[in-house]
Amino acid sequence: MSSGGNDAALVAGAQWELDRIVAELRQSRGKSRSNDHGHRAVFEMPSRETLREILEGLFGALFPTHYGLSDLTDEGIDYFVGHTLDATLRSLQQQVSRELRFSSALTEKDRALDSFRITREFAARLPRVRALLETDIHAAYQGDPAATSIEEVRFCYPGITGMTHHRLAHELNLLGAPLLARIIAEIAHSATGIDIHPGAEIGASFFIDHGTGVVIGETAKIGQRVRVYQAVTLGAKSFPVGENGALVKGIQRHPIVEDDVVIYAGATILGRITIGRGSTIGGNVWLTRDVPAGSHITQALTRSEAFDEGGGI
């Protein structure tokens, strides 16, 4: 019986020319690794599924009565948080080590030291991350007349889910684990439709209403008490190309949004421009110039300027 099954598999393999296809796929993988790192070693890459589990643990540790166990008592909360964090941080350290092995030439000993340092510092920042998230939650409750309670906001608002992912990812990005940070950002993107690069700097009390289609680029800087609506883009206007024909990376190419700005649905704000404190940007505005503090920009105004001055043609 077993022999017949093996014979059938061999026949099927020959039918699909699997030997040739597998060899060509191996050759393609080798070229890809060589292009990126100059060698052909096989790495254990970070696991997206493990990062999902890590995020569940972090959500539970940050908000134990909401994302932890349903029957926690006052006495049991600290134990649950400590136990959850210990397991979660151990798993995170392994994923950081995998990223460092892939992205650097560190020795095994140095990689272990660096992965521990990054994970420990990340853990130390969690209380500050939670405090920032509380400001986001309260901003959403105060800014949305449909919100009936803080708990509804915490449980149900995609903007809060997206910002929880972002504030965790941002810290990992700062600490030297940009690949893990980007995977976390994309997990949030898939779940909420909110696309925030982990490099973006976002101040306290940030409220994303509805959320779907919001895009915030890597070098964007957002002040405090800013509110944006669905389909807002804080993007780059252009992408400079270097002498070798490749895009120049690392330049400041996304907007600066100062404190107390409101950006309504569908607005597109591009380039390293500044939106001054207290300004309001109307829906569907296309904006590529600085805006002074206290401005009120509407679609009709930007259309007029674009055609009068030629900037939109």
Interior angle at CA 208, CA 202 and CA 209, nearest 5: 170
Tell me how far apart the alpha carbons of residues 256 and 133 are, in angstroms, rounded to a whole number: 21
Q: Identify the DSSP state of 291.
A: B
Structure tokens given for 217: 């680029």
Q: What is the pLDDT of residues 194-232, one digit of tens each?
A: 999 999 999 999 999 999 999 999 999 999 999 999 999
Measure CA of the first residue to CA of the last residue in the chain; give whole Å. Answer: 73
pLDDT at 106: 85
Confidence of residue 312 (pLDDT cuts 50, 70, 90): very low
Largest distance between two CA atoms of the chain? 82
> How far does CA 71 lie from the centroid of its chain?
31
The total number of residues written for the chain in this structure: 313
User: Span 66-80, mean pLDDT?
Assistant: 83
Confidence (pLDDT) at 10: 59
More confident residue, 73 or 27: 27
- Among 43-52, 180-189, 284-293, the least confident range: 43-52
Q: DSSP assignment, residue 230?
A: T
Question: How far does Cα 45 stand from its chain's mean position?
Answer: 19
Q: Where are the alpha helices (DSSP H) in the chain?
A: 2-15, 18-37, 48-62, 64-67, 74-103, 108-143, 150-156, 158-175, 178-192, 299-309
Beta bridge partners of 281: 263, 297
State which H helix or E strand residue 38 sits in: none
Which residue type, as a one-letter code, is found at position 125?
R
pLDDT tens for 270-284 read 999 999 999 999 999
Cβ atoms 285, 275 nearer than 8 A: no
Mean pLDDT of 258-274: 98
CA-to-CA distance for 121 and 176, rounded, in angstroms? 11
Residue by residue, DSSP assigns 223-238 as -SS-EE-TT-EEE-S-
